[in-house]
Copies of this chain bind each other. A is one copy, B any other.
Amino acid sequence: MFGAPQVASSWLVCYDCMVRNGAIPGRPLAFGALQPLKMPSSLPCDSCIGRTLNLCRPLDDVRLQHLLSLGGIRHWKRHETLFRAGDPIGAFFKIRKGIVAVAHTLDDGRRQITALRAPGDCVGYLDRDGRYAFEGQALTDVEACAFDRRKFDAYVAQHPDLAAALVEALSSALKQSGMLSLVLGQLRSTERVAHFLAEISALYAERHVSFAQPLTLHMGRNEIADYLGLTIETVSRSIGKLKSRNIIALVESGEVVILDFERLRDAGKVTG
């Protein structure tokens, strides 16, 4: 998908940069103004950082030297942990493939997923006294660039365009987080589930995780429940209600077909 893995001098471009340039999954990429980046494929591409800044452009030698020292690409399997709340911060991550849940767990086991992050997003940036404020868990198999936090911060300090992109990313995350508070504080169970389905659908389409119906949720009922502040039983029942109203349908293997997008958005109230 990113071109053949040619060890030492291949293309290496972020998923979201790819998307921005009109890539169609399974088809060869046409990058227009972009030029090939000469660097090992196991290292973060300029666009991985650049998108943290919405930039996608060739490297000069100096910048390349910096990049080589920042970090590299890593992989996680579904349900594995990228980082744990309270652990000393080592790296922060820019997702290339897969979905990551940012969550927090109470002593008694209650757990709240506070955000879902898709390709192009960053996770693991928030800290408290040098430790992760939340935990990051892979909801699917995940590929991400792992940046050494201190080196990255130093790098950002020298590249104002990167800082601007970081501000943009954080703003977007903060807006989404506020919307989640609205959902958790004000919506009824079925409204929450409807909102979730609409949100997931829009997110996956935007980030090219899933491209069409039927929609693969990539989340079990317990994960949906932890995201929406409900129990798995209530999630199941709410899905049942939406199904009986002919707003959605469940296809074999648990995938979801949205039959009436208009009414789904309507049932979800929050349009954000």
Contact = CB atoms under 8 A, between A and B. Distances in A.
Interface stretch (A27-35, A125-133, A243-251): A125-133
A179 B125 CA distance: 15
A115 interface: yes
A106 interface: yes
B175 A164 contact: no
B181 A114 contact: yes
Contacts of A49: none
Interface string A97-133: 0000010101110111011000000000111100001
A41 to B, nearest CB: 30
B170 A177 contact: no
For the complex formed by this chain, how many copies does it contain in all? Answer: 2
A228 interface: yes
Contact of A181 (B156, B170, B171, B181): B181
Contacts of A174: 126, 170, 173-174, 177
Nearest to A133: B175
Greatest chain B CB density within 10 A among A126, A160, A174, A184 is at A174
Given A112-B185, A184-B181, A126 B175 contact: yes
Given A104-B178, A104-B182, A112-B181, 12 more contacts: A106-B182, A108-B269, A110-B186, A114-B182, A126-B171, A128-B272, A160-B163, A163-B167, A170-B171, A170-B174, A177-B181, A184-B229
Contacts of A111: 186
Q: Chain A contact residues (Cβ within 8 angstroms of B): what range? A: 35 or more
Interface of A: 102, 104, 106-108, 110-112, 114-115, 125-128, 133-134, 156-157, 160, 163-164, 166-167, 170-171, 173-175, 177-182, 184-186, 228-229, 269-270, 272
A102 B269 contact: no
Nearest to A228: B185
Nearest to A173: B174
A167 to B, nearest CB: 5
Contacts of A134: 178
Contacts of A133: 175, 178, 272
A186 B270 contact: no
Greatest chain B CB density within 10 A among A102, A107, A163 is at A163
A201 to B, nearest CB: 19
Nearest to A163: B163
A108 B187 CA distance: 11
Given A106-B186, A133-B272, A171-B125, A115 B164 contact: no
B270 A178 contact: no
A64 to B, nearest CB: 21
